Amino acid sequence: MITKKNIESFIEKIPPSPKILNETLSLLNIGELVKAAKIAEQDLALKSYLKSIVNKPIYGFKNEVSDIGQIFGILGVSLAQQSVYNYMVTLLSPNKWALFKLNSTLFYELQANLSKRWEAILIHLNINDSNAYAAITLLPASIIVTEALFAQKKEEVALLRATKALDYNTILMRLCGMGLFDICEEIAKKWEMDNSVSAIVQAASGVKPSEDEEINTLGKWMHLLLFYKLSQPEFIKAGLNDFVDFQIEYVSDIYDDFASFMEIK
Amino acid sequence: MKPVLKNGIAVYSPQGFLDANSSNAFMLIEDIEEATNLKAEMILVSLKKVAFFNRNGLDIFIKLFAKIRKKNQAMVGFCDYDKKKYEAIVRFFQDDLNFSLFKTLDIAYLFTSGFKNANKKILIYSSDKSQRSAMAIELHDGGHNPTVAQSIEDFDKKKRNIDAYDYIIDSTFLGQMGQKVATRVTGNAIIYTITSYLDAEIGEQFNIEYHRNSLNVGFRLFIFDAYKVLSMNIHALNFFSRLASSAAEYNASICFVGMKFDKTPEAFKETMEDAGILFYNQMDDILQNKELLKELGASSSSNIKNKRVINKETILELPKFIDATVATLEMMTNAKATKEALNIRTLAIADKKDKIASSIGYYGDIDGMVILVFPKEIAKKACELLIGESTDDLEMILDTLAELVNIVGGKIKTLLSDENISVNITLPRTYQDIDSLMEVVEGRKGVQVDLLFNDDKFLFFLTR
């Protein structure tokens, strides 16, 4: 169904991060928001993406924000970085979704929601690390990878999943010995993201806990946040709720804190 | 959301957070329609991967349960939860708890007629005395050895002796039991489970179409597990007499096991015997007696009077059947298949050693049976994706092979429906050796296709 060759071919096709984005990220890394905005202005697609993200209701601005400098200023260094990475992930997304009932608007919505909530979680956990901020951007890449690998096998997978409750990550692991989040790690390497970014996302898969306590804690919060978002009607209808297995035991020790933080009653 | 259907239980597994908004998205109108048409003995919602739910979140499933019960009388409820979730459900629905709650899916299986491993030692506790009794009766009727703890202290004490029990049941509640005539396949016999009072409704509860097609695909022994039948009236008697007459046309046998006539007129038994129905006290009187099984037609094709030949309609669709099989096997093994030879003939297997087989029947616009014969090693490889590891456990391999041939059947159904040919599929069967397969298909003509997966030979046979 899916072979190692398919995976290798997918990884090969991942483009390196464009020069403009690299420069923007480097400047953001050293806190040069204005200079970063000037560089980012040159990429019209990035500009349009940032505008669409920052004007979503979750950011709560009354008037439309359209200037990149203004956008970076509002977002601050970490969120601006996150947004650029989010944009890079969208470059991998298909023109037309076939496996999941998604479109670019809904996918951007998921990215924006995850990013904003993740920011709040990191503040709650007193973590101020740009790599921890950036990690959330890699998580939705797992959805794109699933779409890319399984879209042509939709019917076969549906029949298989009618017989046995297997999520896409398990199917891939059993067939190729490599999971969705391993492929995300490859994406992170290609884009020269810090190792801790992929370590957090691997932990957030719920099946590869980290030995590093802080990374593991972040993985748990991210895992729970993912399923909190994937329990929203639009994402359930998109078929995302069970694309990976929710590891309820893995998050059991942080659940009460999460529920109280999210005001779940 | 789609369920996973296995051994007569369909399980829905939502993940994450269940509230009024999300649960409506889990069960869309088409999902509800599909759920009410499921041919399952039990339909359950697993809460294993649900981190949070409130009453509104469960309401959509409660409405679904009511619809299912109204339409097909299957047993419905929730499973896979911890004590906290159990107490929450009981609190939410205390006045209206007419569905079932099973702490685990394994516990739910104990209450199905298809559970193969009877005679389990089971410790039961419920704070509700009538529940304790109801569970004990059901489990006892299912051939298990239940022990009822009369108090929580008694339960705590008994459960410490962990080796004494195969299963420990608590936080479980039996709602309305299903009234469907449950079906399972044992070897080459089909066993129907009938319960309680049998009247004109048996005609509704019994899937006559499934029965006819089981006859068509070669089943010759039908056993009614009637241990739990309290009595029957004249309408039920007429139904079974008609069933026996139609079975006689195929030289098939119909047996009743465990039927008591203390509340049913003895004259009914004579009428049924006259119609050709046989009565036995115990299931093992039949299933453990190889000579009798042979006599009753469960292991011999020589009884089949109406041998059906492979026809043009089937031949025309042959590529679809092969495609479905090859695609499924390729999906399971990640190996490419090549067709070696295709012949119309009786099934011929040169080397029977270390081979196992499985089959699935289909019926509807066209009918027939697909048989797959595997060398054990290929079967093991093909099952690895479903099992998750390599195993030598033959029973597990055969069980998984049944799942695999079910996927092939599902694929056939889809491919044929693309051509506007509508078929349903029967329960899959497995054969642990070629001799037991040959007893069923010997003398039948069909299309035999030899396939090669990497360097391993694998055989496909399509017959009617």
Q: Determine the 3-state secondary structure of B360 from DSSP.
A: strand
> Which residues 74-133 of A are in CB contact (within 8 Å) with B?
none
* pLDDT tens by residue, B98-149: 899 999 999 999 988 766 567 889 999 998 887 888 888 788 877 888 999 9
B26 contacts A246? CB cut-off 8 A: no
Q: Looking at chain B, how many residues does it have?
A: 464
CATH of domain B312-463: 3.40.1550.10
Query: Where are the strands (E) in B56-129, listed by range?
Result: 75-79, 100-102, 121-124
What is d(CA A125, CA A127) in angstroms, rounded to the nearest whole number? 5
**What is the reported pLDDT for B310?**
67
Query: Where are the strands (E) in B233-351, listed by range?
Result: 253-257, 278-280, 337-346
Token output for B63 = 């409405």
What is d(CA A241, CA B458) in angstroms, rounded to the nearest whole number? 38
Instruction: Give the chain A residue nearest B413 (alpha carbons).
Output: A159
The mean pLDDT of chain A is 91
Q: Which of A1, A106, A159 to mutate to test the interface with B (most CBs of B within 10 A)?
A: A159
**What is the reported pLDDT for B301?**
44
B182-296 belongs to which CATH class? alpha beta
Beta strands B4-6 and B423-425, pairing class: unpaired
Ordered by start, the domain boundaries in chain B are: 4-169, 182-296, 312-463
**What is the reported pLDDT for B130?**
78
**Do B4-169 and B182-296 have matching folds?**
yes
As averages over each run of 10 residues, the pLDDT of chain B (464 residues) reads 87 93 88 84 94 92 87 88 94 86 94 74 90 84 86 93 92 76 71 86 81 75 89 93 86 91 91 93 85 71 50 81 86 82 85 89 85 88 85 87 88 86 84 84 85 83 86
CA distances to A28, A43, B346 from A23, rounded to whole Å, are: 9, 12, 72
Interface pTM, i.e. ipTM: 0.86
* pLDDT tens by residue, B344-353: 888 888 888 8
**What is the reported pLDDT for B311?**
75
Architecture of domain B4-169: 2-Layer Sandwich (3.30)
* pLDDT tens by residue, A200-231: 999 999 999 999 999 999 999 999 999 999 99
How far is C-alpha B266 from the chain's CA centre? 32
Return the number of CB contacts < 8 Å for A and B. Answer: 109
Decide if B56 touches A, using CB distance below 8 A: no
Decide if A260 touches B, using CB distance below 8 A: no
**What is the reported pLDDT for B117?**
65
What radius of gyration do chain A's Cα atoms show?
18
Q: State the average pLDDT over residues A237-245.
A: 92
- pLDDT confidence of A195, banded at 50, 70, 90? very high
CB atoms within 10 A of CB A133: 23
**What is the value of pTM for the model shown?**
0.78
Decide if A253 touches B, using CB distance below 8 A: no
Give residue B339's identity as a one-letter amino acid code: K
Query: Where are the strands (E) in B49-102, listed by range?
Result: 50-53, 75-79, 100-102
Q: Please tell me the distance in Å from A232's CA to the nearest CA on chain B.
A: 6
What is d(CA B211, CA B219) in angstroms, rounded to the nearest whole number? 9
Beta strands B253-257 and B221-232, pairing class: parallel
Q: Please tell me the distance in Å from A30's CA to the nearest CA on chain B.
A: 38
Which tops the pLDDT comparison, A26 or B457?
A26
Contact A220/A254 with Cβ under 8 angstroms?
yes
**What is the reported pLDDT for B235?**
93
* pLDDT tens by residue, A107-147: 999 999 999 999 999 999 999 888 999 999 999 999 999 99
**What is the reported pLDDT for A205?**
94
**What is the reported pLDDT for A60?**
80
**What is the reported pLDDT for B217?**
64
Give residue A231's identity as a one-letter amino acid code: S
**What is the reported pLDDT for B306?**
47
DSSP states along A104-137:
HHHHHHHHHHHHHHHHHHHHHTT---HHHHHHHH
Token output for A120 = 């709040």
Residues of chain A with Cβ-Cβ distance to B404 below 8 Å are 163
B21 contacts A241? CB cut-off 8 A: no
Token output for B265 = 């007129």
Beta bridge partners, B355, equal B375
Q: Looking at chain A, how many residues does it have?
A: 265
B334 contacts A3? CB cut-off 8 A: yes
The beta-carbon neighbor of A163 closest among B18, B28, B406 is B406
Q: Please tell me the distance in Å from A161's CA to the nearest CA on chain B.
A: 7
Decide if B396 touches A, using CB distance below 8 A: no
Q: Determine the 3-state secondary structure of B434 from DSSP.
A: helix
**What is the reported pLDDT for B299?**
54
**What is the reported pLDDT for B186?**
67
Q: Determine the 3-state secondary structure of A206 from DSSP.
A: coil
